[in-house]
Amino acid sequence: MRHTRVRKLWWTRERVLEGLRRFYRDFGFAPTATAEYQKRQQFTGASNTGVGNPYPSSYGVLKYFGTFREAWTAAGIRTDRSWEAWTPEEDWFLTEGAGVFSRKELAETLDRSPNAVHRRLYDLGVHSYKARGWTLHRVMRVTQVPDHIVRKYADRGELPYFRGSKCIYVDPADLLVVREIDWEHPPEELAEAVRRSLMARLVAILSGRDWRAGRPYQAHPKRTTGRRWERHAKASESKPVEIDAGDWVKVIQKVPSRPGVNGRVGYVHVVYLLVR
């Protein structure tokens, strides 16, 4: 009767986890890519069976865990993604999220560092201040129209805008409502941006689509109701024009707080507007 010798498995799940912890102590990082792990794991032991080797092979790790990230998590070690290549999905998320979310929020979602996100955006050629249209600061810089004037159009609901994580963005073609911009001789940079935006709208219309559908820019008129707004509106009203400093006036009715002034004539030095 023939006896078959069964070799006892050396790299058990517990030994794999201990080997990963040893790897982290020795090298100071937790790679999630197989190639990065094998660069340091290979040729570190004398036995092909794994007996006495300090670190498990990538095959031994993936035998118990679906991914290296899952294995490091089971070992109680936070993965270091700085050694991990960026995926197309991550690049898409950064491109779509730039300007909408802060760098910190992007980093937390992708489990990356803010510096890594900043560098990747630079490599992709994505500028947060240009990713969602023209910022009000850019409009002011190019047209020399103060941004507070452009904001008034936005507050009145005449200029649609999109509020990002740091900036307010507008569609250059929507700036045509701003009368303070010299549209007879507009800056070439702005004129080109307006042409591109209008052409995109025309293409959508000729395709039978609503060019407004899916636009991030929406009208947000400032609230003009409520007691707080009424007080603000009264305070911003112009002062009466019937009386001005330098006029001579005559008091024609009794003033409860100033008895005896009725009928007196005086010189106006300052005019106050009392808002209640």
Encode pLDDT of 182-234 as tens digits: 999 999 999 999 999 999 999 999 999 998 888 889 888 876 555 655 665 55
Query: What backbone torsions phi and psi does residue 152 show, to the nearest 5 degrees?
Result: -65, -40
Nearest to 40 by CA among 52, 51, 238, 25: 25
pLDDT band at 276 (very low <50, low <70, confident <90, very high): very low
Query: What backbone torsions phi and psi does residue 117 show, to the nearest 5 degrees?
Result: -65, -45
Nearest to 167 by CA among 191, 190, 187, 139: 139
d(CA 94, CA 101): 9
- The helix/strand/coil state of 24 is helix
Taking the domains of the chain in order of start, what are their residue ranges? 13-82, 86-124, 134-206, 239-276
Is the pLDDT at 174 greater than 90? The verdict is yes
Provide the residue type at 27 as one letter. Answer: F
| Of 41-45, 53-57, 230-234, minimum mean pLDDT range | 230-234
DSSP 8-state secondary structure symbol assigned to residue 153: H
- The helix/strand/coil state of 18 is helix
pLDDT band at 77 (very low <50, low <70, confident <90, very high): confident
Give Cβ neighbours of residue 172 (< 8 Å, ≥ 6 apart).
133, 134, 190, 193, 194, 196, 197
At 48 the pLDDT is 54
**H or E element that contains 197:** helix 188-206
**H or E element that contains 22:** helix 13-27
Please state whether beta strands 162-163 and 168-170 pair in parallel, antiparallel, or not at all (unpaired).
antiparallel
Percent over 70 (pLDDT), the chain: 80
DSSP 8-state secondary structure symbol assigned to residue 248: E
Question: What is the pLDDT averaged over residues 104-112?
Answer: 86
What does pLDDT average to over the chain? 82
pTM to 2 decimals?
0.56
Is the pLDDT at 67 greater than 80? The verdict is yes
- The helix/strand/coil state of 134 is strand
Give Cβ neighbours of residue 68 (< 8 Å, ≥ 6 apart).
30, 31, 32, 33, 34, 37, 58, 61, 62, 79
Is the pLDDT at 136 greater than 80? The verdict is yes
Place of tokens 């636009």: 215
Is the pLDDT at 81 greater than 80? The verdict is no
